[in-house]
Amino acid sequence: MAHGTVFRDLLATGTGTGTELPEWPRVAQALVVRRVEAGGTVFLQDAEHPYVYAVGAGLLKLCYLAEDGTEWIKSFASEGGFFASIAALQPGGRTSFMVTAIEDSVLERLDHRLLDELSQRHLAWSRALQAMTLAFAARKEARERALLTLDAQERYLAFCAAQPDLARRIPQKDLARHLGVTPVGLNRIVMRLRRLEGDPKATRG
């Protein structure tokens, strides 16, 4: 992965032109590449962390941590995706969730304060950041709709249909936390669907 490639592609796509953004060399110089081993933490909950990340390789989970240690997984991020804690991007803000790696991952990190500065001076940057914000909002809206209108099995089937690669890569216990069911409950759903499809794996102990 070339330095800055993922962010450059994401942001250039947001302009609608695919061309390089103004002052890109400055952004490339400020960009930091992070390598996080599976199980490692990208950032903790309730921390000052005004950064935006793009994923070059790997798989990560974004989760809320309750006071009793219970983990609630809000979403996942994989190659070509991006994430940030919106709360932490505000002046004096702190992260509302934590991010850990499910697989060995390579990330690109940019300080949001630099992006905000550039968007104030360049229309292309403003459009690019607006496009990323809209994409983030659309993901959040789809997640809320699934939780409110679908039952557990429907949520599982919808996830598998929309993101088949991730459905294969995500550990079942993590996918269960994301779908709002227990690991045992999700396992029952998977076994039931396999029986309906005549999958011989469903009859194995």
Q: pLDDT by residue (tens digit) across 106-148?
A: 999 999 999 999 999 999 899 888 888 898 889 889 989 998 9
How sure is the predictor about 205, in pLDDT bands with cuts at 50, 70 and 90?
A: very low
Residue 64 has pLDDT above 50, yes or no: yes
Instruction: Confirm if 88 and 94 have CB atoms less than 8 A apart.
Output: yes
Strand partners, 35: 106
Query: Where along the chain do its domains lie?
Result: 5-142, 150-205
Please say if the pLDDT value at position 43 is more than 50: yes
Instruction: Specify the pLDDT at position 12.
Output: 73
pLDDT the model gives residue 203: 41
Q: What is the largest CA-CA distance in the chain?
A: 62
Please give the pLDDT value at position 70: 85
Distance CA 52, CA 103 (A): 19
| Chain Cα centroid distance, residue 6 | 14
pLDDT given for residue 3 in this prediction: 59
Q: Is the per-residue pLDDT at 39 higher than 90? A: yes
Q: Which fold has domain 5-142?
A: Jelly Rolls (2.60.120)
Q: Could you read off the pLDDT of 65-105 as tens digits, one per residue?
A: 888 888 899 999 999 999 999 999 999 999 999 999 999 99
Q: What HEC string does the chain produce?
A: CCCCHHHHHHHHHHHCCCCCCCCHHHHHHHCEEEEECCCCEEECCCCCCCEEEEEEECEEEEEEECCCCCEEEEEEEECCCEECCHHHHCCCCCCCCEEEECCCEEEEEEEHHHHHHHHHHCHHHHHHHHHHHHHHHHHHHHHHHHHHHCCHHHHHHHHHHHCHHHHHHCCHHHHHHHHCCCHHHHHHHHHHHHHHHCCHHHHCC
Provide the phi-psi class of 98: left if phi over 0, else alpha when psi is between -120 and 50, else beta: beta
pLDDT, tens only, 6-33: 888 888 765 555 567 899 999 999 999 9
Q: Which two tokens stand for residue 193?
A: 């669907």
157-199 pLDDT per residue, tens: 999 999 999 999 999 999 999 999 999 999 999 999 989 887 6
